[in-house]
Structure formats: structure tokens, C-alpha cells
Amino acid sequence: MKFELQHTDTLTSARAGVLTTDHGPIETPVFMPVGTVGSVKAVHPWELKEDIKAQIILGNTYHLYLRPGIEILGKAGGLHKFNSFNGPILTDSGGFQVFSLTGIRKLREEGCEFRSHIDGSKHIFTPEKVMDIERAIGADIMMAFDECPPGTSDYAYAKKSLGLTHRWLDRCIRRFNETEPRYGYQQSLFPIVQGCTYKDLRIQSAEFVASKEADGNAIGGLAVGEPAEVMYEMIEIVNGILPKDKPRYLMGVGTPVNILEGIERGVDMFDCVMPTRNGRNAMLFTQNGIMNLRNKKWEDDFSPLDPDGTSYVDKAYSKAYLHHLFKAQELLALQIASIHNLAFYLWLTREARRHIITGDFASWKASMVKRVAARL
């Protein structure tokens, strides 16, 4: 994998680059739709590539391990062939999902023992096993196995957790280097910076991660309940340490405003379930603000869903029609809203890239933050 940094904004830390994988190039900044169990909910792979223009999507190691299972994915030739998405795929390590299973997991130095949320069966994730699972899934970009501590963790727990994450990272790297890709193309491993909202722990983690000289690096454990300004402070601290010539991935973030603020602080890659999850609940994001399509005000509004939108659904359907579909609980409502929101998120990061290159990102971002946060 190669990363070419093409432009850096003169007034902020915003960057534009190109990340090249064996499944194709990725222009950054980029938003990555989340396909937890091998599919982006309610969206066809053709729509992802041709209409939404997704350059890369995510799969989740925990969920794919449980269902359909590594044996099936191996027989299929990996996730790319299984789900018919021929672009780059990133897998998270499953750490966040495993550690959110409060009450049905046991954490120790070896790894994390847990029970499946599906059938209660017992499993264990170790750093070595997670590397083997991600190899079998066939992701272009694999995440290291880490502990994602609660956002409310006290300092003592956060420090202990960080030590475990760093020891696990060394084991992940060792296993990664001992094994080969299974499907004939290269895979990259990204370490994850943790440390909750404690400045010294974030610095320590960023320095440790940077020393590994990986193909790219991730920032985890944010957007878990801390104030937005604290999250932005942590991003600035970490990005001041992580290598400038490697891509930076902010995990699980977030709202359109969060993404713009992250880009301003030097983040290159984002993912979040918000576009599809909120879309399935009738919330649409647009460059002029947020709409709740269940509100009665849209009942007889026959104007296009989003006159400024980039997806075919934005011109093909009216606000009144989508309002009707949600009220009638039609499945098509979930599909239209998800496609619109994903297309908007991809548009937003493409526009940010364009303004970084043209040199007016700071002024564009300042006006856009106000617009996208408005309630329509």
C-alpha cells in the first residue's frame, strides 16, 4: 500500500492525498460506508460504486467471524468475492464490539473471552487469532486488536488498558509478519491509538504507534460520550505526533460537523454508521441542514428530495413521497434515505478535498459547518 500526500492546506492541517491498494486507489479525505456483516444496510453494491461513489467500505471482524464464519468466507475466496464489492475493504478488529458485550466477556492478558450475542456460544479473541481472521476475510486494511475502554474510564483503568493495547499491538504485528495474504493481493495493518481523553496517555500511545512505522494509523476510543471539543483536542494532540506521510483514520466518527472538524485537524479517513442508521430513522443530512422526513411539514412538499444532492434518488423522489413511505413503514423508505445520506457524506469529503486543493478550505469549512448543522 502506498500513500501520496498531494496537498496540505496553508491555514489548517487539512490534507489531500491518494492511498493506493491492490483493489484500487482511494482519494482522501474519504468517508467509508460501514458494511458490518458484509453489506451496507439497504444498499446494493452497484449503488455503492456507481451512484454513491464509495471508494472503500468496512466489514466487521466480530460479526463476520460469527456469521457467516471464516470457513465460508475462505471457501468464497474472501469478502470481496462473497459480497461482490470489487473496491478496497477495511476491517476493524472487532475490539469495540467485543468490549461492548458488558457482562458476557472476560478480559485477560491472553485475549478476551466472550459469548456470542447470537446464540450465547463461547469464543476467545487473541491478537493472533484476530490477525488470522482478518487475513481470512481478506481486507485490504486490517486493524490491530485493541481494548476500547469506556469513555468514562478513570485514569488508572485507562492507563492499564493502554498498556494491554500496546502489548497486544506487538503481538498483532508479530503475527501479521509471520503470515501471508490468502488471496493473492497485499494487506496492510493499522495500529490504533488509544488513551481515552487523557492527554499524556494519548501522547504516549501516539508515540508508541508511530514507532511501529506501519502503512497507516488509526485513532480509536473517541466519539464515545466525551464533549466534542475534547475529542477535537485529542485529535490535534495525536495528529501532531503521527507520521505526516502515512494516512490517519479516525474510527467511528461521526456527524458532518465532526468530519469537517476532523479534516481540518489532519484526518484522512472516516467511518460511521450514522448515515445509514439515522437514514433508517428518517433523518436526512444535506448541505443546507438536517431534515426529519417524518415531520408533517413534508407531507405535501412535492419538491425534489434534495435539489443539490448527487444521488439519483435526490431528483427522482419528492419529500412528500419519502414522508409517505416512512409513515407507511415501507422498506423503500430505508433504502432511499440510506442512499441519499451516504451520497451526501461522500460528496462532503470530496468537496473538502477539492477545496483543500484549490486553497480555500478554511473559509469553505467555516460556512459549511453552520449550514450542515441547521435543522430544516
Assign 14 to helix, strand or coil: coil
Phi-psi region of 107 (alpha: psi -120 to 50; beta: other; left: phi over 0): beta
User: Is 271 tagged catalytic?
Assistant: yes
Per-residue burial over 15-27, b = 16 or more CB atoms within 10 Å of its CB, e = otherwise: bbbebebebeebe
Going 344 to 79 to 16 to 199, the CA torsion angle's sign is positive
Ordered strands of the 217-219 beta sheet:
30-32, 269-271, 248-250, 217-219, 192-193
CA distance 224 to 145: 18
Annotation-wise, does 93 bind a ligand? Answer: yes
**150, 138 Cβ separation under 8 angstroms:** no
Q: Is 92 a catalytic residue?
A: yes
Instruction: Give backbone dihedrals phi and psi of 290, rounded to 5 degrees, phi first.
Output: -110, 135
Q: Tell me the C-alpha distance between 135 and 14, whole Å.
A: 32
From CA 309, how far away is CA 137, in angstroms rounded? Answer: 34
The answer to whether the annotation marks 146 as part of a ligand binding site is: yes
CB atoms within 10 A of CB 74: 16
On whether 24 is known to bind a ligand per the annotation, the reply is no
Cβ count near 107 (within 10 Å) = 14
**Catalytic option among 9, 140, 215, 271:** 271
Maximum separation of any 2 CA atoms in the chain, in Å: 62
Whether the Cβ atoms of residue 241 and residue 265 lie closer than 8 Å to each other:
no
- Catalytic residue selected from 9, 92, 268, 314: 92
- Residues 220 and 204: their CA atoms lie apart, in Å, by 14
Which amino acid, 90?
L
Q: What type of residue sits at position 328?
A: A
Q: Any known ligand binding at 335?
A: no
* 94 is an annotated ligand-binding site residue: yes
- Whether the Cβ atoms of residue 251 and residue 218 lie closer than 8 Å to each other: yes
Does 95 show up as a binding residue in the annotation? yes
Closest by Cα among 200, 108, 219, 103 to 158? 200
User: Among positive and negative, which fits the CA dihedral 283, 284, 287, 288?
Assistant: negative
Any binding-site annotation on 225? no
Binding-site entries for substrate: 92-96, 146, 194, 221
Q: Which residues are annotated as a binding site?
A: 92-96, 146, 194, 221
Residues classed as catalytic? 92, 271
